[in-house]
Structure 1
């Protein structure tokens, strides 16, 4: 204790700021895993980085990583020690990128093993990306055998989707700095720019870079690029009333429809409500959607500068999807495209992955919720919606109503005519 208190006059904030600025890859806390789905954070085929390295289930892929290093180094025509030196030159930055790194990776032989993992994993990813590009262009992979299980047409169709899935996990990230350093050694002055590397990784994940994002800055890692590609343009913070903070509950989609709110597709990634119409982008749900959302949400929760767009979106969807009835309604409007077995599974997906998450107080979707709640509170909107659902949704019912009105008007006119005639005769 005395040693710890000897230098209390030093300000630790500067050193801590540098350390935390570099950190971008985290272990997901056990509490977060238990709240949702713990298996959603574990790679199934390949480990990237140190957190899952050595997992017995993933060891078979290590042989293919070593082959990737040999093939890439041979094609580059440079000695292996040049690639190792490139990793050593940025060792501190790579080590600092990982939070809660185990002692086995630090100091002396531990750091050497860590850099060996960085190089092998980086070469493996680059070779997988090269395989994809060559297969899509119809070119042969002359330095790999046609029956190669990984770096071939077979690997492109049957292994690549699993690698893409593992590449989206928070604990299974590799700094893009690793790819940059390898490519510098491999290509020299003609090495790809930061923009080229960002696009290369996103193309491998079959995503496009958004127009509003910064293309010139190298992404932190693949999950960071996926997160940036899913974000909206930077919003203007909402001016929320104090009393609104305690009133964020919102009716589900079926109740919103009963209140006269209509649903239409948004041409952008934004969700907006105007003139009784909720516009939202199409929700595409398939096997693995929950895993992608959970890891993006974990990144937002653990990384200070990530923002909160994905978490806010998931919580908004959880609000309007309470049951399979809500999913069926949105699907009938063309706003949900599902590859799952039933509407109930879609509803359970959003109800499950939102557990433990909190919407940002500066989220623009709070304004959308407020406007829809205000709309639902007005009795006239509910009466009009009830009338439309009851009498205007079915042609037969509408014709019957019209006929009843005609009969009623005719009866009234007859009574009036009879009364006028009676008084005229008197």
Structure 2
């Protein structure tokens, strides 16, 4: 009876009635997915992802939009739906500016772009075509109006005021709290809109030009460059030249600006870019793993089990420890690729990084996006691991600030230390050849100091060897036992009491 009851419970737990699912709707959904399925084009790969749960759990506010949702992932959340009135106001202004009904814009998008839009998102979008296109069109109108602020900044002009409907949420100085929150929202992984849609609408907005395509490209590039200058933490003298037509969305553009192409190409990327060798990619990778000693480690898929990312810090001394060992720290105006170590002068060169309230969200979402799309080295993740390793305490943060490596616009040095120490707790360690060589050189130089050598000796041969300690304790105990036996026969107390007279005293 008990067995039958348990079986019934298990069966019922998987029934449609318990899951509140309409069977007919479910069957119709399956039928459409299989029968009416259109084969995905290789020209439109998935480019907009959900943040992995293991990352999302560490700091949800850095990945979940707080004020404005763009695209389908967060559109219906009550917390962000209040911004809909501002989106609709932007859509009305777009309609007036383009001198065409917004409904006509939606019709054209639905006819030409619906399938391509759906292909961009890695999740199946459970919305009708009309709902999806209306949502995307309205969101694009809002995003383009928001980005205009940065286009004007980048071109060196000044916008005297923002449209009245948007004036209390967006301002040209970017100092209003609502503006900063929106700024963080638009760079989040799950809040992206395909670049081809933004470009198409912008092209239709631009009038009175002989070359509409070029003008749209220039205008969009101006907006995105202004946004990058506003958000990017690095102080670069020469900005990379990124083709917006090669970028899938806004965050993809920011990633390529932060990690310029071909800086850190690995063997797998080189193989993938050569058609004839592409077929041999997998066997060649296996061969390389054996030569590099990586053959014993299995991937998450091969192991059949999803492992949580490690929280182990990168092996490198903190900056204060480096300073005590005679290693110099020097700022350099550039990006991640400019990190280097001079063995002759024992100087570690680090890019100047400007930290403000937007930096953590910016870097976290770059790391998350990189983990979703990068086939090669995870460069941004490795940089955050490096900074996590060299900044342990607020004293380390203060040290870097005083030397000009960190420009701190946060409240304190402790906040800086907390930012870096929290960055790579949820990201798996990765190898980036150039950066790893810098780390190796720093560790070699650090290990040459006598303090470090002595500490290593103690850790290896004393504290790290329980056998040595056991023998040492046994010898000490043996000596004490022998001394006790000796003293019980020869009265050590009397001998030690007479010792001062023996050494220098005289007797009468």
TM range, smaller chain: 0.7 to 0.9
1:85 pairs, out of 84, 87, 107, with: 107
Aligned to 1:303: 373
1:162 pairs, out of 165, 181, 190, with: 181
Say if 2:312 is the partner of 1:312: no
Count of matched residue positions in the alignment of Structure 1 and Structure 2: 361
Say if 2:299 is the partner of 1:271: no
CA distance 1:200–1:139, shift in 2 (3 Å): closer
How many Å separate the matches in 2 of 1:381 and 1:86?
A: 71
How many Å separate the matches in 1 of 2:376 and 2:266?
A: 19
- Stretch of structure 1 that moved more, 369-378 or 356-365: 356-365
2:81 pairs, out of 31, 37, 59, with: 59
1:126 pairs, out of 139, 144, 148, with: 144
Query: Which has the larger Rg?
Result: 2
Query: What do residues 138-176 of structure 1 show as CA deviations (whole Å, max 9, x unaligned)?
Result: 56679x548954577799856433221111111111112
How many Å separate the matches in 2 of 1:211 and 1:152?
A: 25
Alignment of 1:289-368 (within 5 A): 289-304=359-374, 308-368=378-438
How many Å separate the matches in 1 of 2:375 and 2:174?
A: 36
Say if 2:358 is the partner of 1:288: yes
1:174 pairs, out of 169, 179, 193, with: 193
Say if 2:192 is the partner of 1:186: no
Say if 2:113 is the partner of 1:113: no
TM-score, with structure 2 as normaliser: 0.63
CA contact (8 A) 2:333 2:352 kept: no
Aligned to 1:231: 259
How many Å separate the matches in 2 of 1:306 and 1:87?
A: 35
How many Å separate the matches in 1 of 2:97 and 2:433?
A: 49
Alignment of 1:364-375 (within 5 A): 364-375=434-445
1:201 pairs, out of 214, 224, 232, with: 224
1:254 pairs, out of 314, 320, 334, with: 320
Aligned to 2:7: none
- Stretch of structure 1 that moved more, 240-249 or 111-120: 240-249
Say if 2:91 is the partner of 1:69: yes
- Stretch of structure 1 that moved more, 126-135 or 151-160: 151-160
1:133 CA drift (Å): 5.4
SS of the equivalent of 2:42 reads helix
1:120 CA drift (Å): 0.2
Which segments of 5 or more consecutive residues in structure 1 lack a partner in the other structure?
1-14, 384-426
Query: What do residues 2-52 of structure 1 show as CA deviations (whole Å, max 9, x unaligned)?
Result: xxxxxxxxxxxxx67828x52111111222112x21121111111101111
1:381 CA drift (Å): 9.7
Which segments of 5 or more consecutive residues in structure 2 lack a partner in the other structure?
1-38, 268-287, 298-312, 454-508
CA contact (8 A) 1:286 1:339 kept: yes
Say if 2:285 is the partner of 1:219: no
How many Å separate the matches in 1 of 2:59 and 2:40?
A: 32
1:41 pairs, out of 58, 63, 68, with: 63
How many Å separate the matches in 2 of 1:117 and 1:187?
A: 22
Aligned to 1:400: none
1:261 CA drift (Å): 0.6
How many Å separate the matches in 2 of 1:377 and 1:50?
A: 53
CA contact (8 A) 2:394 2:417 kept: yes
CA contact (8 A) 2:199 2:220 kept: yes
CA contact (8 A) 1:146 1:152 kept: no
CA contact (8 A) 1:265 1:335 kept: yes
How many Å separate the matches in 1 of 2:173 and 2:396?
A: 41
How many Å separate the matches in 1 of 2:227 and 2:438?
A: 35
SS of the equivalent of 1:361 reads coil
